[in-house]
Every structure is written in C-alpha cells, then in structure tokens.
Amino acid sequence: MKKILKLAMCLLTVVGLSACGGASTEKQEAVVKSFFDYLKAGDIEKLSTVCTEDNGDVDDLVSMMASFEELQDVATYGQTFVDEANKFIDSAFQNYVTSYEINSVEEDGDNYLVIVDVKMKDYDNIDLSSETNDIVEKYQTEHLSELQEIYLSQGEQAMMEKIFGDMATEIFGAMTKEMEGAKDIDTQLRFTLVPNEDNWLISKIEQKSE
C-alpha cells in the first residue's frame, strides 16, 4: 500500500510540475492557423474576424479582394467571364502559401508573438500583362469584322460580353499558369496577438527583413 501511495504522489508531483511549466499556447496557435486557413480559402471576411480592426497589415489583402470583386459583375462581363474569374481567384489564394510551420510562441507582456516559417509564392515578381496583352491583340485582329457587326446590330454591351466570354478561358488560364509557376520564397512572419475577452486577435503581421 505504501508503494502505491508513493507512486500516486510521484505522479501527482509530475502532473503538478507539468502544469506549472508554462501556460498553454493552443489558443494563440489556433488563431494563426485560422488566419492561414481563411487566406487559403480567399475568405477575407472571415480572415478579418481574427484580426483587430486597426490591423493595417491586412489592408492589401482586403484591397486585392475588392478589386477581384469588380470582375464578378455578371451584368457587365457575362457569366462565362465571371466563372473563369472565380476559378482564377480561388487558385491565386489556394497556391499563395505553399506551406507554413509555427516556429515559436513567446509571451510579450500581455501579448504573444507567434513566429511562423512560411514558404510562399513570389507574386510580386511575375508579369501578367505581357502574355494577356498578346492574347487580346490577337483576338481583336482575328475577330474585328465580327465584333463590328455585333456592335452595329446589337450594341456595345453585347459586343463587350462577346469579347469577355471568348477570351476569359484563355486569359485567366494564362494568368493562372503564370502564378502557379511563380518562384517559391522562404520567409518568416511574426504575428502579434493581443487579448480579446477570452480569445486572441492578430494586431500586427511583420515579415522578416531580407
């Protein structure tokens, strides 16, 4: 009996030491993981829910998504163009971050710093305009007479829908291929998380200086 009691006391001591070894960082890590999940899904609305309202580091993402939304106007571009645009947008976000791994989680006063090693596509150094310009010029040359006829008989809107519908697959296909072929870069992101009631929000995202 004494041996059993001694074993029980040892186990309780180990559990106690483990509990005192440091606060759990599961909540902070979960917030950062949600950030990457929402980014991959291109869901900027949900991504904003894990960031503070004054987090200016996500402004570029919000602006980019807003510009994409302009391409989703069926009345202006037609359904074919919008469908192809949506495929392109989904691909751009899904492939942006190739992989990531949480490197460390550190207390910083009342806040936490989550350091993440990231492999991501270098979208800043790709040229989407040259090939798409060639596609547009070729199309205009080959279909000029047809487009003029549509314009005269059906009006400008019908002509534009014809252009957008015909070129959408080729243009967005070329852009998707270019973005998928973008160089992978290794970098490190530092997320600052601040307490928000019983949860945490990202207040700042900093990229390691090259």
Query: Where are the chain's structural domains?
Result: 26-207
- Answer for the pair 139, 166: CB distance below 8 angstroms, yes or no: yes
Q: Is the pLDDT of residue 50 over 80?
A: yes
Residue pLDDT, tens place only, 137-186: 999 899 999 999 999 999 998 999 999 999 999 999 999 999 999 999 99
Contact criterion met (CB below 8 Å) for 138 and 54: no
Percent of the chain with pLDDT over 90: 60
Q: What is the CATH number of domain 26-207?
A: 3.10.450.50
- For residue 8, what pLDDT band results from cuts at 50, 70 and 90? very low
Q: Which helix (H) or strand (E) holds 92?
A: helix 79-94
**Residue 8 corresponds to which amino acid?**
A
* 177 burial type by CB count under 10 A (0-12 exposed, 13-18 middle, 19+ buried): exposed
pLDDT of residue 75: 86
The pTM score is 0.79
Short-list 207, 187, 200, CA closest to 29:
200
Q: Encode pLDDT of 62-112 as tens digits.
A: 777 777 788 888 888 889 999 999 999 899 999 999 999 999 999 999 999
